Structure 1
Amino acid sequence: MTQPTTVNMTFDTSLVDVKQTPPPSNETVSFTSTTASDSTIEMPPAPNPAPTKPIQHIPTQAAYNQWASIYDTDGNILQAIDDLELSSLLPALLSSVSSSAGTGGEGGNEINMLDLGCGTGRNTAKLLRHAWGARRVNVVGLDFSEKMLGVAGGKLGNLVEGQGEDGRVKVELRLECCDCFPTATISPTSTSITATSPLPHPLQALPPFNLTISTLVLEHIPLAPFFATLSATLAPGGVALVTNMHEDMGRSSQAGFLREDGVKVRGRSWVYGIEEVMECARGVGLEVKEVKERAVGKEDLGVNGSWGLGDRGRKWVGVRVWVGFVFVKRGV
């Protein structure tokens, strides 16, 4: 069941047991749930609770346009956990895609990748920095926030590699501002169908992708249009990586930022259970290969100057805040 997050609402607090419903017999799913070890760290006493801050809900696009200038620096704990998990998950996935992508025929030596909802390019940069060797790589980043893409363009340009022996750029980047999920328009009161093709307009003249990543985006989009677009972007055998706020965190929080005047600004969000995400993915031809959950541990807070989430992460210790999925598109 999808649940829109609003200021005044009651959430279903039942947990999803991902082991109760087995995947199809021809699908092998790897489940991992981790919490960083907390056995040896003595934490300082928790500070007194801060006063409750006012919350303003605005359209999601407007929220991200306002958030753009501080998105990479405001200490968001979910972004930090996402970076930490992808530091190992994404390189392994990129190496696998590189070794499995075709190497013959016209364009067969190229790897095409998409960052769907790329924002400020936080993870687009990881695609560009990967050691691709002799492979030519085309990276496309799409987002609906012009301000977020402006930040991305300013920091990603110097990561594009130079020309190969044939004069072509080895790693090419294209950023486009568009409606990333064209089969749904989200209004404060309804979700209505507005297009017949789930493929974003800038992609309609491009070949399908070997890899699509979409990180911390799913929370803002209804499941059906999200996965319709995700599947449409992939070539048969293509891989998708999706990360999202875990439902355990989503029951009491959602993506947003603290404005200079002390107001919390939030867009629109949904809370999704793992099983319903997998079911929707399977319905559009995606096999679930891996599911990984991540809780916050005490050592994630950081002590004695070490990296950490700080006091903002304290209330989330022991709570699963992040979930990641790896999908593969079935061949035709």
Structure 2
Amino acid sequence: MTQPNTINMTFDTSLVDLQQPHPSLNTSFSTTESEPSDAGYAQSTAQHPIETPELPPNPDSQPNQDTPKQSLSQTGPAPPKPSTPVHHIPTQEAYDAWASIYDADGNMLQAIDDLELSTLLPEFVAQIPKATPAPTSTLNMIDLGCGTGRNTAKLLTNTVLWPDQDVLESIHITGLDFSRGMLDVAAQKLGALVGTGTGRVTYQLEQCDCFPTVANASASPIPVLQNQNQDQDREEGKILGPVDALVSTLVLEHVPLHDYFATLAALVRPGGCALVTNMHDEMGKMSQAGFVREDGVKVRAGKSFIHSPKETVEEAQRQGFEVLTVREREVRGEDVERGNVGKRGLKWVGVKVWYGVLLRRVG
């Protein structure tokens, strides 16, 4: 399903600096070698996104045949290296192209997200039985912006996460994403994991516009699944949500706060829980999502909104959520020393790059 190019969404964020460093052109589909700088968009806010307008790729330049060659004996500073070409494309198109190498391109922010989720995800799951209507019931969960299924895989296979079966009989996870390429990778990954977990956890993957109000402010904030007739399905009680729990990691960067939490409020039932992680605004002022093509061209996806933890918490509260936990995380020297992140992480030591919040729907 082709989404409008104006939908500003991305799932599972990587890093491309707002400056243009000069990575090696033989780097094949790896995340850009990021370099923090004060020359980023330090004045941008959640209401003033980092724009990435549509630009054509740089054409191959040819030398001017009328320009005389310089003498070999001429001395002086070497000419500056040409900057790496940057190609700006719609977010959905970028993530479709990124999907096949997304899990293996050295994504530093994703590595930090995984580190923090190793403790935050169990804390989140521990809250979920309190949200279910009765013991031995089925818990319904949404992975909003599931990407390549990184978190759904954790939930599917980690047997120690879930309470005993006499407390929670079964768990069903619906993974939603707008990128067909990402969902295809997720389907292969999760299909290979079936039977390796508790057996109580099942899943389905669906393509949809996850945040309808971004493109149309008067639309319902509830995502409409591909080939779904919203009016008919609402009459038949098949409309998506509300669910007991929702997880959405590294998604918020590309969605305005109001639209993001309007969708969460519509999908999570009163008493239900949500886990949200995002790029920290300290990093957002210097980087945004993207990757490097095998020909050395940087690809930047859509536009990025800089949201601080404070702004995120305030909007969540405005839209009916109680804040249970807030965490912030900087890159540390030991993250690189222990191999938790690649050497590119050295450039971000001391910078807050990540935050996460646990929420409960009030009402």
Fold equivalence (TM over 0.5): yes
Equivalent residue, structure 2, for 1:279: 314
- How far residue 93 of structure 1 moved from its aligned partner, in angstroms, is 1.5
Identity, in percent, stands at 51
- How far residue 217 of structure 1 moved from its aligned partner, in angstroms, is 0.4
Aligned pairs for 1:32-181 within 5 A: 53-98=84-129, 100-104=131-135, 109-131=137-159, 132=162, 133-134=164-165, 135-161=169-195, 170-181=200-211
Q: 1:260 aligns with which of 294, 301, 319?
A: 294
Letter in 1 for 2:128: V
Root-mean-square deviation (CA, aligned residues, Å) is 2.7
1:53 match: secondary structure: coil
CA distance in 2, matches of 1:127, 1:278: 25
- How far residue 13 of structure 1 moved from its aligned partner, in angstroms, is 8.0
Larger Rg: 1 or 2? Answer: 2
Equivalent residue, structure 2, for 1:251: 285
- 2:143–2:247 Cα contact (<8 Å) kept: yes
2:287 match: secondary structure: coil
Q: 1:290 aligns with which of 311, 318, 325?
A: 325
- How far residue 126 of structure 1 moved from its aligned partner, in angstroms, is 1.3
Unaligned 5+ segments in structure 2 are 1-16, 20-38, 46-80, 229-237
CA distance in 1, matches of 2:124, 2:340: 26
Alignment partner of 1:314 is 2:346: yes
CA deviation digits over 1:75-129, x for unaligned, max 9? 010000000000111022113313552335xxx6111111000000011111212
Equivalent residue, structure 2, for 1:37: none
Q: 2:355 aligns with which of 318, 323, 332?
A: 323
- How far residue 171 of structure 1 moved from its aligned partner, in angstroms, is 2.1
Q: 2:245 aligns with which of 211, 218, 230?
A: 211
CA distance in 2, matches of 1:207, 1:311: 42
- 2:252–2:260 Cα contact (<8 Å) kept: yes
CA distance in 1, matches of 2:221, 2:269: 15
- How far residue 51 of structure 1 moved from its aligned partner, in angstroms, is 8.4
Equivalent residue, structure 2, for 1:199: 222
CA deviation digits over 1:115-146, x for unaligned, max 9? 00000001111121233342211100000000
Letter in 2 for 1:157: G
Equivalent residue, structure 1, for 2:53: none
Q: TM-score under structure 2 normalisation?
A: 0.70
Q: 2:304 aligns with which of 244, 248, 269?
A: 269
CA distance in 2, matches of 1:291, 1:263: 37
The number of equivalent residue pairs is: 276
Q: TM-score under structure 1 normalisation?
A: 0.76
- How far residue 205 of structure 1 moved from its aligned partner, in angstroms, is 2.3
- How far residue 52 of structure 1 moved from its aligned partner, in angstroms, is 5.3
